[in-house]
Structure formats: C-alpha cells, structure tokens
Chain A
Amino acid sequence: MAASLSLRAGLVSLALLLAFLLTWQIAVGGTAKTEAMDPEYAALMGASATTGKSAMPGPLDVGATLWKHLKDPFYDRGPNDKGLGIQLAYSVGRVALGYGLAVLVAIPIGFLIGMSPLMNRALDPFIQLLKPVSPLAWMPLALYTIKDSGLSAIFVIFICSLWPMLINTAFGVAGTRREWLNVARTLEVGPFRRAVTVILPAAAPTILTGMRISIGIAWLVIVAAEMLVGGTGIGYFVWNEWNNLSITNVITSILVIGLVGMILDQLLARAQRLVTFPE
C-alpha cells in the first residue's frame, strides 16, 4: 500500500530542498588556488580571487546568519543596527494600520456600491481609473501632503489594500442570493437588520477573499515603500544590507519576508473558512 499523498509530497519537497541546497553549496564553494600571486596581494584580494570562492554566501552561511538573528531578534544598537524582529514589527505594524484603515473604508463603501446600482455606476469610473495605479506612484503626493515618511508608507499600504476589498465587497453584496433576501422581506426585516443578518454573512466569504488578496498586496508593497522612506522596517533593512554588501542578510530577509507573508495569508485563509458555510 502506497504511503499517503501528503507524506509522499513531503518527501519530494524535502528531496528537492536538499538537492537545491547541495547545488547551491557546491556552486559557491571555492575549489583550489586559481593562480599564483604575491601573498600580500592575495591577502588584499580575499578568498574570491585567491581560491575561486564566490562572494555569494552558501546555505551554511545563511543558516548561521539566520540562527544569529533568531537568537537575538530584538536588539537595538542605534538607527542602523536593529534586530530582525524589530524591523519586522515595524513593517507588520505599518501594514496593520494601513490595512485596518482600508478595511474600515472599503467594507462600508463596498456595501453601498453593492446595494445601490446608482452608486455602483457613479463610482465605477473612479475605481476603474485608480485601481491600476501602482501604489508607489502615490508616494510623492503622500510625502508632500502628509509631510511624514512613516505615515506616507501607511497611506501607501492603505491605498493598495483598498481596491481588492472594495471590489470584492461590492461583488459579494450584490451577489446575495435573491431567495435569502426574499426570506428577509417576507419576515419584514428592516434594512439595517437585513444588512447585518443576511447580506453580511452571505457576502462574508467573498469579502474575506478580497481581504486575503489585499493583505498579500500590502505585504508586497510595504517592502518597496520602506526602501523608499527608509528608517525602519524590513524593506529598509534589505536595502541597508545591500548597501553594506551583506548578501547573507539579504537572503535571510527574503526568507523571513516570505515566511511572514505566508503567515498573514494563512491567517486570512483560516478566517475565510470560519465564515464559509456549505449549503
């Protein structure tokens, strides 16, 4: 009897990972002395010139750096040397603020658009025009008007989270099953109670889909936004380490950015399962 699918898939994943790490290690590892040179000159040039070792760190280097960061994630030695945990906390905080504001704005307006064909048509041109704009294009405008780089980053997160939630809320609300609305009508349920007890639960899975798309985009955008505004955050950390030419730290950052993004996505996926009921 074959092992279960998930077990076999896990084994394949593990094998692929090992193969990748091995290739990586071999590719960046040095071989032997490449050419004879003056010892003083060789000391000046470093390992990449003398033994053919790449400047690219190997998986073991990255693993060691990751371990170092994990051991002490919250240290703070001045503006240019903060622990990975602190940087991540700044980024997550900005995303939470911008995204939270977007939820507060997008869901009520989405309800309005979904329930009123008039408002749907009236607001449609604005949404269609603004939706495709890269959120970073708003950055100069935000910096000029808000005059605070931290708040500008939050604004950029707000604006990029807004559209998927807005559109999905409107779509979910407008798509509430006619028969459920008829149930509310025959029971003489008032408009507010109907919105809360019938339309909201009916649209909840679609709204959560929008929220899940939004959190993904927000997490993509925060890295770029923080590269621009600087100061703190994981995006700033990546750019700072690039300036330090610490590729090890850049790769470590990529790993943790992916990890946090995955956790955010999984949280919303779980929330979505909680509000989805099969018929």
Chain B
Amino acid sequence: MVTLLPFHSPSADQADEARMSSQTMPSSEKFISIEGIARRYPAPGGKSNTVFENLWLPMRRGEFVCMIGHSGCGKTTVLNILAGLEAPSEGVVIVDGQAIDGTSLDRAVIFQGHALLPWRTVLGNVAYAVSSRWRKAAKPEVTARAQDAIATVGLAGSEHKRPSELSGGMKQRVGIARALAIEPKILLMDEPFSALDALTRGTLQDEVRRICVETGQTVFMITHDVDEAIYLADRIVLMTNGPQAKVAEIVENPLPKSRDRTQLHHAPGYYALRNHLMDFLVSRSKTLRDAMPAGYDPRHPPVIRPSLTEVEGAAPAADTAPARRA
C-alpha cells in the first residue's frame, strides 16, 4: 500500500525543515511573483464571493509552470490577472521587478478559443501583433517577422489562408505564432489544447515544448490534463476546488528536461507522479479545500519534490498519506 505512495506529504515538522532548506525561492530568482492576490465578486445582499484569496506563487525565469485544478477554482482568473486583463481585488503581481498594471506586450496570451480575427489571413493575424509590438516598423520587416513566427509553428505556405480554412490545430498554431511573434517575456496559455483531438494535441505539445526549450521561454499554462502537465511542466501548481481555492502544493517535476513523449511513460516515477496528480484531482482537491493540513502557510505552499530514485526505492511515505488514500 505504502509503496504506491512515493511522495511525502509534508507533515508539520517535515514542512518546517523543508521550508528552511528549499521551499523558499530566493528573491533573486523570482522573475514573476504573485503576492497575496485575491479575487472577489459581489454577491447579492452586499456580500461577496471569494474565488481565491491570499494566493502566493513565485516563478523563475525560463520556467514552465502548469496550474491544475477543477473548473471554478479560479485558474483562468489567475491567468487573466497575470495577463493584466483583470485586476486582483487584493495583492499584486510583480514581473521582472515591477508591479503589473494592465496588459502588456511583455505578456502574450494564447487563448483557449484561439481568438483569431476571422477577417484577417494567417499572415494578417500574426502581422497585426507584430505591428502592435513594433509600431514604427516598416511593412517588409513586419511581414518578415510574422513569416518567421509562422514558420516556427510549421505553417509556412498557409500564410494567405483565412482562419475558417484551417483545422482546429492549425488555428491554435496561428495563435501560438501570434504570441511568439511579439517576443514576450512570458507566455500565458489558457488550456490551449483542450479543444483539440488527442493526436493534434500531442503534436502541438511537442512543438510548444521544443520552442520553449529552445528559446528559454517563461511559460504559465493552465490545464486540466494531467499528462500534458507532466510532459510540459517544470513545476505543477495544484489548486484546491473553489470557491476560496488555495494553492494546495507545488510539485516539482522530477523528469529530466529532455523528455521523449514515446518513452515518457516508461520513465521511473512517471506513474507515481501521475497517480499523485490524479489522486489530487479526484479527492484531495476537495478534502484539502475543507481542511488544510496543520502548518499550511499560504505564502509558502508545500513544495513536493519527488526524486526518481526514491520512487524506485519506494521509500515509505509519510504518516498521513495512507489515511488519505483510505
């Protein structure tokens, strides 16, 4: 029983120790820092509904972070706040040393529904972003940059098609090209592949992974696909159910940076990691919302750092884990 649960759940004393050693990210490493943000909506009777509050999350430069949680936990709101499309009710987001205020060309968004402008061609959609980024650029330069971005996502030759002539996967590629073309500091993706069939999703995940690894792009992505998170993310943020969602824990992905999709499920620790995430979505996302473990500090949510050897060695998991499983 215990061997199935390779991960420590930080009990109070372990958590303290871990926090001392590794859970706090040094401020010099924080490229993005979400600091105590909350989102409340007014409710009838002068009250307010809190989607989440006191949410803290640091991100390093060049890191790929996935956020997982059920619908209604405020994932999209977090992303919209990062994008500047929504303002937090409380708290701030600091990017590269500056508190954000509204949208910015430094933070590109890949929308769930691709959000291409149907009256523009593929080239026109990407060039629109390029000419917004470099207002004074001459037309040939805009076209050249746009074509570069289109080639990066493998759509060279389709520049003059309109979105309606493209398949769902190709549309989302254009969305990715549009976001990459403005050379953002951060790429924000809101379930970008959820509307695609499994095969297309796989290819696009490969593309995104390749591009992000090559360019060292910092990415924040929302998904509810556990396999997608394992394949793409360096760290996976687990949100409890809403309302009043919290960051339950941050799982550091133990898989090596060079990942092969075909071999991924043979990697030691893959299934343990996957089961851990699935367990979270199936049951713990709800139980943890109702009662967080003692010693939970929203400023420093527990960081789970499974090691592959530990998985293989099946080190006994900590105290509370079996109870949870039962």
Report which A residues bind B (CB closer than 8 A).
Answer: 177, 179-180, 182-183, 185-189, 197-198, 201-202, 204, 275, 277-279
Contact = CB atoms under 8 A, between A and B. Distances in A.
A186 B119 contact: no
A188 B104 contact: yes
Interface in B105-158: 105, 107-109, 111, 113, 115, 117-119, 128-129, 132-133
B40 interface: no
List the 8 closest A-B pairs by CB distance, nearest first.
Answer: A187-B132, A179-B115, A277-B118, A278-B164, A201-B119, A277-B119, A279-B118, A185-B103
Interface residues of B, number: 23
A70 B59 CA distance: 79
Given A277-B162, A278-B164, A186 B128 contact: no
A186 B103 contact: yes
Nearest to B164: A278
Contacts of A179: 111, 113, 115
Interface string B151-180: 000000000001110000000000000000
A183 B113 CA distance: 11
A179 B182 CA distance: 18
Contact of A188 (B105, B109, B164): B105
B83 interface: yes
B85 interface: yes
Contacts of A198: 117
A183 B119 contact: no
Contact of B107 (A182, A186, A189, A277): A186
A274 to B, nearest CB: 10
Nearest to A198: B117
Nearest to B184: A186
Contacts of B115: 177, 179-180, 182-183
Interface in B179-227: 182
Contact of A201 (B108, B111, B117): B117
Nearest to A197: B128
A183 B83 CA distance: 11
Interface of B: 83-85, 103-105, 107-109, 111, 113, 115, 117-119, 128-129, 132-133, 162-164, 182
A183 B163 CA distance: 15
Contact of A275 (B108, B119, B129): B119
Contacts of A279: 118, 163-164
Contacts of B132: 187-189
A279 B119 CA distance: 9
Contact of A187 (B111, B129, B162): B129
A238 B135 CA distance: 59
Contacts of A187: 105, 128-129, 132-133, 182
A183 B111 CA distance: 9
A202 B104 CA distance: 23
Nearest to A187: B132
A258 to B, nearest CB: 34
A170 B83 CA distance: 29
Nearest to A275: B119
10 contacts: A179-B115, A180-B115, A180-B117, A182-B109, A186-B83, A186-B104, A186-B109, A187-B105, A197-B128, A279-B164
A226 B83 CA distance: 59
A186 B115 CA distance: 12
A95 B103 CA distance: 46
B19 to A, nearest CB: 35
Contacts of B164: 277-279
Nearest to B182: A187
Nearest to A278: B164
A180 B120 CA distance: 12
B85 A186 contact: yes
Contacts of A277: 118-119, 162-164
Contacts of B129: 187
A8 to B, nearest CB: 31
Contacts of B133: 187
Q: Which of B83, B109, B113, B119 gathers most chain A CB within 10 Å? A: B119
A185 B162 CA distance: 22
Given A183-B115, A185-B85, 16 more contacts: A179-B111, A182-B109, A182-B111, A182-B115, A183-B117, A185-B103, A186-B83, A186-B103, A186-B105, A186-B109, A187-B182, A189-B132, A277-B162, A278-B118, A279-B118, A279-B164
Given A187-B182, A188-B132, A197-B128, A182 B85 contact: yes
A189 B133 CA distance: 9
Nearest to B132: A187
Contacts of B104: 186, 188
Nearest to A205: B119
Contacts of B162: 277
Contacts of B85: 182, 185-186
A180 B113 CA distance: 10
Nearest to B171: A279
B314 to A, nearest CB: 46
Contacts of A180: 115, 117
Contact of B103 (A177, A188, A202): A188
A49 to B, nearest CB: 67
Nearest to B85: A182
B110 to A, nearest CB: 10
Contacts of A183: 111, 115, 117
Nearest to A184: B132
